[in-house]
A and B are shown apart, each in its own frame.
Chain A
């Protein structure tokens, strides 16, 4: 049985062991970037866990709480690659310990598998011969133990396996072999396990050696001196007058008089944090947005350094002189789309104005012109996203006073792809060409219902039948929406296709769309399949195949 107290001590012992060997790890660090910081990163990452464990000892927490707190603290303090992986390993352990008051040998062994699985889940292509390998192989060794009698035995076996695995890392990773070292991160995890074992065997934690302690505090002090440029740490909340208030302008203004600025915007609240010498100006500007709450202003520098302040004042003075005006933006993109899902995707991609419209409700040239004027930009790009709207966009272009480029997209999926060709730095000609070529790389299809009886390509279609459309016309008809969608996909893919995106409309439930995703994943194993909410009316699905 393992108690909370024991686990807390194990963490402390592990942390101390890691910190004692910090320099060793630093020297071994050659992968992925040989910058000699693995030891520092890992020990700083685990120091949070140590503090959390110490607190838990005072309050006598159960093991779940200890594991949770240690994992959370490491996650927050994670530094460097190895630190992040360490935090994942501890999180995996915590996950397995969840809801268990006491841990026996069997469940302790499972913790290692969980740790390894969690760590592996956070990377696409794991590199073997690193901390990941060491964690996995030690977990596998423990799993094999037939009689899981004692926690200490388990841990001992894990340490043994970890060391074997560690010595094998140069064989897996050529860079290590060239440098003649084992993996530093892997060594770190071995040290953690050894530190834990030391406590279980001896009943005391590994003692932290003095020299390292000093080095730590000295370094922290240096950093603290350097970082202060502005005196007042100013923090407050703004209750927005209305949800539409534009915070960007406020951000622009205050960013000029301070640093370390963080402005987080919510629906009705804006949280502001900035280091500045002029908290008054910051607050004055904030009042334009709404009423203030929880105002906190701290002087960050009691023993102030005259020279630094003087410099800061000069910088502020220089910057204050340039007040922002409202000149037209260099560019803006306007798109026509129907459906909230589509609008959201478009906005995320950088479309500034959206005109509601589509197949059955074409916006007029006047509507488009209005949007152009509202956008207030030097160059405006328009994505009509429908054959019938391109004309209206062209006539809006003739009436507009600024430079307008109409990208002839004929469907919303095409418009979305066109957005990906856009680059803020490029000029209008390049952008127009790039967006157009992106749009042309998309073959689109859709699934909808027939509005009347008809006959097409020899297929008889009754009113209200489900039909699948592509540029070539009707390609399938029937009763089941998902079957038709699969048929449409089949007819639009070709050998270059690699990505299929399905946008489902407002009449399709999420479950139905998920079923389609499964069917497509089954059928097109080599493609990335993406299902997104478009929220469009009339069309059950819009489907796009891209290279």
Chain B
């Protein structure tokens, strides 16, 4: 699967892998995100191909639906960070890649331990 954008000069193809990694990159710099979750496991090492396992995308028409599975920091307002994650990802993907985002679903799978 890939996103194909037709322009008058030709076609641009963006593979899913690139989209997923970009999302993971944006997401890991969002405040309140301390890691990704993947099947109950925690991914924390700074290795983007690993971390992007915590991101799933699917298409609805020409728009993307993004699921991200994260580990949230203890002591932050999770509702608020989820909202800002949604907004950041939507903004970055739409501006960086020109792909419409229908929705971003944030799954908070774990929390980092209390300090």
Contact = CB atoms under 8 A, between A and B. Distances in A.
A200 to B, nearest CB: 28
A79 B115 CA distance: 23
Contacts of A78: 76-77, 80
Interface string B43-70: 1111101100100001000000000000
A498 B80 contact: no
B73 A76 contact: no
Contact of B88 (A32, A76, A349): A32
A42 interface: no
A358 B100 CA distance: 46
Nearest to B95: A33
Given A499-B38, A528-B50, A123 B77 contact: no
A367 interface: no
A28 interface: no
A499 B77 contact: no
A499 B40 CA distance: 12
A419 B56 CA distance: 14
Contacts of A528: 41-45, 47, 50
- Most chain A CB within 10 A, of B31, B38, B87, B112, is at B31
Interface residues of B, number: 37
A13 B32 CA distance: 27
B20 interface: no
Contacts of B74: 122
Nearest to A348: B40
B84 A84 contact: yes
A528 B53 CA distance: 12
A75 B75 CA distance: 8
B10 interface: no
B45 A32 contact: no
Nearest to B85: A81
Contact of B115 (A84, A121, A420): A121
Contacts of B32: 84, 122-123
Contact of A121 (B41, B44, B58, B73): B73
B87 A127 contact: no
B96 to A, nearest CB: 12
A88 B34 CA distance: 14
Nearest to B43: A528
A123 B33 contact: yes
- Most chain B CB within 10 A, of A80, A423, A528, is at A528
B39 A420 contact: yes
Given A84-B84, A123-B33, A125-B28, A345 B40 contact: yes
A419 B92 CA distance: 30
Nearest to B27: A124
B15 interface: no
A501 B115 CA distance: 25
Interface in A183-222: none
Contacts of B44: 124, 528
9 contacts: A76-B77, A81-B88, A84-B77, A123-B32, A417-B39, A423-B58, A499-B38, A499-B43, A501-B41
Interface of B: 28-35, 38-47, 49-50, 53, 58, 73-77, 80-81, 83-84, 87-88, 91-92, 112, 115
Given A80-B84, A123-B32, 5 more contacts: A32-B84, A78-B80, A79-B80, A88-B76, A124-B35
